[in-house]
Structure 1
Amino acid sequence: MSSIHHLQHQIPFLHPFSSQSSYTYKYITQSMASTAATFLLAASFAIMAASAFQFEVADDIGWSKPTGKERETYNEWAAQNRFHIRDTLHFHYAKDSVLVVTSADYLACNASNPIAEFDDGSTVYELDRPGFFYFISGQPGHCKSGQRLIVRVMHPLPPAAAPDLAPELPPSLAPSGEGDGDSRWPEFSSTAKLSVVSYFVAAFVALLVTLYLFV
């Protein structure tokens, strides 16, 4: 009994309401919140990265010179989709090429000074900024026949007051002339890709960070 009594005196006892116990509890809580916040922050980045979508250009038609029998032009196909930063375009083609060009070269079907050029037959191009991207075929005569594409990438946080998100060509870029197969620019359809999960994760992370700072 004396030895047990001696050990009891040697083992420190933390009263549940002592200042040392309160500090220990606060330290453990902050550590757990910090770990959870770090994990969820990394998870949110992974979810946002995974939310990027790959579009098959013109679906089953692929990237080729229009014959006039297609059910839609390339720009009509683009108008039916919502494009966001980090989305990618997959161009599938044979004996052809994909040129990324300026708006002026798009209008003129000028293939002599591209921003980027691809001819591997299966090109994946990442949309890395908001705004307009212009693509044409590098084969002679293909662009004039309608093998060209304008893609508008949405801004990450569009203004809440904007009632209409339909893409519009700048007045100076309205296609015209004979032989242009993409003269019409229809309104956006209702097919939208929303990354709702990432917003909830970000909000949850913000809550945990707040708990970490003030608990």
Structure 2
Amino acid sequence: MPTPNNLAALLTAAFIVTTAAPFAGAETHHVVGGDRGWDVDSNIASWSAGRIFRVGDKIWFAYSVAHGNVVELERKEEFKACDVSRFIREYRDGIDIVALNGEGIRYFASSRAERCRKGLKLQVHVEAQQQKAGTTGVGSRNDMSEGDGESAAVPPSPSTSSTPFAISYLTLSLLLAGLAFTYWIS
């Protein structure tokens, strides 16, 4: 039979996991460029069209550092002109994760202006989190298009679904219940 301290620790852990789990799936991870990653041949503008990014999401840049880094630009003018000389942040690891922590528009481009001019740039319009927890949606971002055909706002990826999350949550809950029961009877 478990000691009171062990049982309290187990029940506390189970409570934390089961109450926090529904919120863990609220963010969406977007791999920029899809399977091709951050590359001139991946057509970033096409990839980003129709995506909706929300506060709390993360965008992943996967690229070859031999072809340059990813820079974040402050102004739309710099983004449109591919003026990468005055970036506000540089990502240089080859796999970089950028947290979208606030609403607004963010601009990313290749650190090499010639690659930026070939389309290796991304404008991200970060929207407020959805009111309904556990849901993700993909809406049209035509209202964000500025007619330049270069890039559209981004995000929540249609590849995320609440169904696999619900199944994982149920599995985790059953596993914890079974573990607690086994621990209790031993």
Which category of TM-score, normalised to the shorter sequence, fits these structures?
A: 0.5 to 0.7
How many residues are treated as equivalent by the alignment?
147
For each residue in 1:110-145, what CA deviation from the matched residue of structure 2 results, as whole angstroms up to 9, or x when unmatched? Answer: 111112111111111111112322110001301111
Describe the SS at the equivalent of 1:142.
helix
Gaps of 5+ in 2: 1-14, 132-137, 167-186
Q: Which residue of 2 aligns with 1:118?
A: 91
Structural mapping, 1:181-200, within 5 Å: 182-183=149-150, 185=152, 191=158
Larger Rg computed on CA atoms: 1
Partner of 1:212: none
Given that 1:166 and 1:187 are in contact with CA atoms closer than 8 Å, whether structure 2 keeps it comes out as no
Moved over 6 A (4+): 186-190, 194-198
The alpha-carbon deviation at position 84 of structure 1 amounts to 1.8
Q: What TM-score do you get using the length of structure 2 for normalisation?
A: 0.61
Instruction: Indicate which of 43, 59, 62 corresponds to 1:89.
Output: 59
Work out the CA distance in 2 between the residues paired with 1:88 and 1:189. Answer: 9
RMSD of Structure 2 on Structure 1 (CA) = 3.8
> Structure 1 or 2: larger strand share?
2
Structure-to-structure mapping, 1:19-34, within 5 angstroms: none
Contact 1:107 1:175 in 2 (8 A): no
- The whole-number CA distance in structure 2 between the counterparts of 1:97 and 1:138 is 5
CA distance in 2, matches of 1:107, 1:184: 10
The answer to whether 1:59 aligns with 2:31 is no
- CA distance in 1: counterparts of 2:36 and 2:157, whole angstroms: 22
Question: Among 104, 122, 141, which residue is 1:149 paired with?
Answer: 122
What's 1:77 paired with?
47
Q: What SS is found at the alignment partner of 1:143?
A: helix
Cα deviation, residue 183, structure 1? 3.3
Matched-pair identity in %: 23
Match of 1:100 in 2: 72
CA contact (8 A) 2:30 2:59 kept: yes
Distance 1:192 1:154, change over 3 A: farther
Match of 1:166 among 123, 140, 152: 140
How does the TM-score come out when normalised to structure 1? 0.53
Q: What is aligned with 1:130?
A: 103
Structure 1 position 48, deviation (Å): 1.9
Contact 1:93 1:121 in 2 (8 A): yes
Cα separation, 1, equivalents of 2:155 and 2:55: 18
Please state whether the residue corresponding to 2:86 is helix, strand or coil.
coil
Could you tell me how far apart the structure 1 residues matched to 2:157 and 2:95 are? 28
How big is the shift at 1:50? 3.4
Aligned mates of 2:157, 2:57 — CA distance in 1: 18
